[in-house]
Amino acid sequence: MTLDTSACAAVSEARLQQRHDRLAAIGATPRGGVNRLALTDTDANAQAMLVDWALQRGFRCSRDEIGNLYIRREGTQSGLDPVFMGSHLDTQPTGGRFDGAYGVLAGFEVLEALADLDRPTRRPVEVVAWTNEEGSRFQPGCMGSAAFTGVFPLERMLAAKDRDGITAGEALAAIGRAMPLPARPMASVRPAAYLEAHIEQGPRLEAAGATIGVVSGIQGIRRLAVSVHGEEAHAGTTPRAVRRDAVSAAVAAIAALEALLHDTDDVVRFTVGRMEVAPNSPNTVPSRVDFSIDLRHPDADTLRTLGDRIEAVACEAARSRRCTAAVTQVSHVQPTVFDDATVALVREATRLLGFPSLEMPSGAGHDAMYLSRICPTAMVFVPCLGGVSHNEAESATASDLAAGTRVLAAALVALADA
Amino acid sequence: MTLDTSACAAVSEARLQQRHDRLAAIGATPRGGVNRLALTDTDANAQAMLVDWALQRGFRCSRDEIGNLYIRREGTQSGLDPVFMGSHLDTQPTGGRFDGAYGVLAGFEVLEALADLDRPTRRPVEVVAWTNEEGSRFQPGCMGSAAFTGVFPLERMLAAKDRDGITAGEALAAIGRAMPLPARPMASVRPAAYLEAHIEQGPRLEAAGATIGVVSGIQGIRRLAVSVHGEEAHAGTTPRAVRRDAVSAAVAAIAALEALLHDTDDVVRFTVGRMEVAPNSPNTVPSRVDFSIDLRHPDADTLRTLGDRIEAVACEAARSRRCTAAVTQVSHVQPTVFDDATVALVREATRLLGFPSLEMPSGAGHDAMYLSRICPTAMVFVPCLGGVSHNEAESATASDLAAGTRVLAAALVALADA
């Protein structure tokens, strides 16, 4: 395999870092992280900054029906399907500076490097900022890439409500009014390939002393919502024997699920990240608890089998406290295996550039998960400090970020000239 | 003991019911309950309605520094300490029509009955609506009676913040501007005695077929706040072995506390009614859980011993999940024993009026708990349907409510003429 690595040298570590600094200022938290929930004004401000940079370089910007933002550098054969690079600009409520932002800025840096070199590509190249990857404000996550790839219907995504009852469609319309962009229907373009750079969000690269993770695929994810129903009662007068205490039932259910999903090799990922209690008053026996379940595993069969046992275990635990539980599945994404040839491009670029690397699956979900269903897809990981992510302390070195961008550049050029 | 029961006949069941209906319309919920959190506009509107009724009857109204509302019918010897009746107008977020409202309206009905009869009393008689008994919006509860009786400093009560960061003092000032009333410093008056009518909020009267509960005292209450601290991490990449999952730790802590506080005779009341998770995102390992503990027992030693063991058990459970827990005590109210002579008045009035009755302690806390520290105090209970309270389905019959008010009238006249 022969790869043109000339664009790699034009990747600017300093410029990339400066872009990260400026983007991280939008939604910056006092503890050094970022709070940039999807489709908020803050998210829109981040998009506006990126659009501003793009227009200065003569790239074209457009937006589709779910709010995905496209930045396009034309190819010599503009009628060909473009190659996409990208990730997302939204963050967790107390998120970091790199999760998502890096993939967008690395893609943008590749566009700039090509522009600096006046290096034409045969295919157009586009950087995409996918809408609401995190799924913090609106569920499910990866909303933009799910709608784009047809995994979920657009209408369902637009109807998703945040905790204040605002729909994604309403939030999107407000952003459209505040920052109008040319509209491009998502059905009007199909990518020839997709590359996504991302921090690892786990400890493996750092532990191995590797600079680049050549990502083989993504473990599967099932997201479920559990509603536990009991009955309100006075905390002072109601004997335990007649209580229908939803917190007690939820505690029993989560404890039972922890036992169910405990594996000695510690591969299963089980998280209850969200919990809402009603009426949430200290002296009322609670009548309702809603909690989220995030279950992940690299093996499709294991993920299905374990996930399928959750409802019975949760319901039985709730019954033991005279409550009921309703379990609904929010999403079930099978483990993803990336395209061999595209992963090989990333592997070869890494080898040519001389970076120590590790072949690995991704523990986290990414937009690449959905893109891989419609086009050849691969990802490039770089290490993050202590494997910490979804945390204001998230950190990555400028040198590693630039290294990942150089690998991205080499793979991109190969795909864009094909 | 000779009691004058002439005022009892002037108590109007129809008027009392009408007043309940009108008051319940303020903050009415679709499911037939009431949402009238302390010091909200809704709470102020309820007070305004009561003031309006009072002024129509020529009673005088005033308000003190913590927002307690006083409605006064003068005595023949106006310089004597007044006898108080009362309860509270605030409710739980999904509360009922009778918890609190009944005690205020029963007291008001007694004032009206006396006025209808032109029946003078030697002492002035006042109906008090105590501020924030429920403790749902601001903690601790019984704020108005706690400040009035000097149990907690006024300044601490005024500085208490709701979940939006609004202090009780700020909320109070807004009500004062919207509905000015003559100010009466709380230090300027001491009650000669206090009577509080209330629904039982438990199942005992109904089960016994009794109309009146002659209340001997109130079980003790300890309220604690537990903060569990872990660390945010990515739900997909972070192995269980290195997680510091605050929900998992809180679940372990609550399960351990349930085991600690489990008594076979079912006398201990242990409730986790409130729980807040941060950052509360489905795909982030949670870094913090705050939960409330409400612990009650009629025996002072048992309450102290059990309560004192909570911190160690919660901390050990949190440690087992690599988290930490901080336990702080919000309040510790000893079990209350009401004044023998005042309880005897209620007992005798009940006997003279011929109502079937039960002697009982109160499972719920009431403003009477604090009033009993500064003056002879007693309570009158009436049954509520199924013992259900702190619930929109809370219900009591007009006939029982009137019966309780007649007992209140007889006891009040005896105290006010003394």
Three-state DSSP string of A223-289: EEEEEEECECEECCCCCHHHCECHHHHHHHHHHHHHHHCCCCCCCCEEECCCEEEECCCCCEECCEE
CB pair distance less than 8 Å for B296 and A221: no
CB pair distance less than 8 Å for B232 and A390: yes
pLDDT band at residue A416 using 50, 70 and 90 as cut-offs: very high
Can you give the pLDDT at residue A247? 98
> Nearest Cα to B254, choosing from A28, A385, A248?
A248
pLDDT band at residue A204 using 50, 70 and 90 as cut-offs: confident
pTM for the model stands at 0.73
CA distance A414 to chain B (A): 30
C-alpha of B351 from chain center: 27
CB pair distance less than 8 Å for B239 and A266: yes
Domains B6-219+336-417 and B220-333 share a fold: no
Can you give the pLDDT at residue A272? 98
Q: What are phi and psi of B153, to 5 degrees?
A: -65, 140
- Which residue of chain B comes nearest to A239, CA vs CA? B266
Q: What are phi and psi of A49, to 5 degrees?
A: -65, -45
CB pair distance less than 8 Å for A285 and B139: no
Closest residue to A274, CB basis, from B92, B239, B282: B282
Dump pLDDT digits (tens) for B96-147: 999 999 999 999 999 999 999 999 999 999 999 999 999 989 988 999 999 9
> What's the CATH architecture for A220-333?
2-Layer Sandwich (3.30)
CA distance A375 to chain B (A): 24
- Which residue of chain A comes nearest to B286, CA vs CA? A273
Q: A86 to each of A82, A99, A211, A241, A415, how far by Cα in Å?
A: 13, 12, 20, 56, 15
Q: Does the structure show a pLDDT above 70 at A221?
A: yes
Distance CA A36, CA A181 (A): 20
- Which residue of chain B comes nearest to A253, CA vs CA? B251
Most A CBs within 10 Å, among B162, B200, B237, to test the A interface:
B237
Percent of chain A with pLDDT over 70: 100
pLDDT band at residue A389 using 50, 70 and 90 as cut-offs: confident
pLDDT band at residue A1 using 50, 70 and 90 as cut-offs: low
Average pLDDT of every residue of chain B: 96
Can you give the pLDDT at residue B303? 97
Can you give the pLDDT at residue B115? 98
Cβ-based contacts of B287 with chain A (< 8 Å): 94, 391
Most B CBs within 10 Å, among A162, A226, A271, to test the B interface:
A271
- Other CB atoms within 10 A of residue B192 CB: 18
Q: Does the structure show a pLDDT above 90 at A239?
A: no
Residue A170 near residue A125, CB atoms below 8 Å: no
Residues in chain B: 418
Q: What tokens appear for A286 in the block? A: 């609670």
Average pLDDT of every residue of chain A: 96
CA distance B10 to chain A (A): 33
Dump pLDDT digits (tens) for B301-342: 999 999 999 999 999 999 999 999 999 999 898 999 999 999
Residue A294 near residue A269, CB atoms below 8 Å: yes
Q: Does domain B6-219+336-417 have CATH number 3.40.630.10?
A: yes
What does the pLDDT average to over A390-414? 96
Cβ-based contacts of A135 with chain B (< 8 Å): 281-283
Show the beta-strand stretches assigned E in A54-158: 60-63, 69-73, 83-88, 125-130
pLDDT band at residue B258 using 50, 70 and 90 as cut-offs: very high
pLDDT band at residue A388 using 50, 70 and 90 as cut-offs: confident
Dump pLDDT digits (tens) for B237-256: 988 998 999 999 999 999 99
Longest dimension (CA), chain A: 78
Distance CA B89, CA B92 (A): 10
> Residue ranges per domain, chain B?
6-219+336-417, 220-333
Can you give the pLDDT at residue A274? 97
Dump pLDDT digits (tens) for B201-217: 988 899 899 999 999 99
Dump pLDDT digits (tens) for B282-295: 989 999 999 999 99
Can you give the pLDDT at residue B165? 96
Distance CA B160, CA B140 (A): 8
Superfamily (CATH H level) for A6-218+335-417: Zn peptidases (3.40.630.10)
Percent of chain A with pLDDT over 90: 91
> Nearest Cα to A366, choosing from A205, A108, A133?
A133
Q: Does the structure show a pLDDT above 80 at B1?
A: no
